[in-house]
Amino acid sequence: MLATQYERAQRVFESILETNPKNVVALAGLADTHKGRHDFAIAIALMEQAIAIDPQNADLHDELRIHQEAYDKWKNHKTH
């Protein structure tokens, strides 16, 4: 069920980005869908893309940090 919700959200964010590829809210949302499925490399890359568009947006920097921390925790959990 949760995977289906991520897939639906992903389609919505991708649709928004088709018409407005610089929409940082949609990029961050899409990143969240990837983080939720443990696709951390994609999530982090999307957050970095959003920051490149709006480097002064502190929320984006915070979200990138959260994504990186989630990846680190997941990676450490997988190795233990």
Range of the domain at 42: 2-79
The number of domains in the chain is: 1
Q: How far apart are CA 34 and CA 28, in angstroms?
A: 10
Q: What is the CATH number of the domain that holds 48?
A: 1.25.40.10
Q: Which is more confident, 2 or 47?
A: 47
- Which position has the token pair 């970095």? 48
Query: Residues 27-62: pLDDT tens digits?
Result: 999 999 999 998 999 999 999 999 999 999 999 999
pLDDT at 80 exceeding the cut of 70: no
Q: What is the mean pLDDT of residues 70-77?
A: 86
Contact present, 33 and 66 (Cβ < 8 Å): no
pLDDT score at 1: 55
pLDDT at 3 exceeding the cut of 80: no
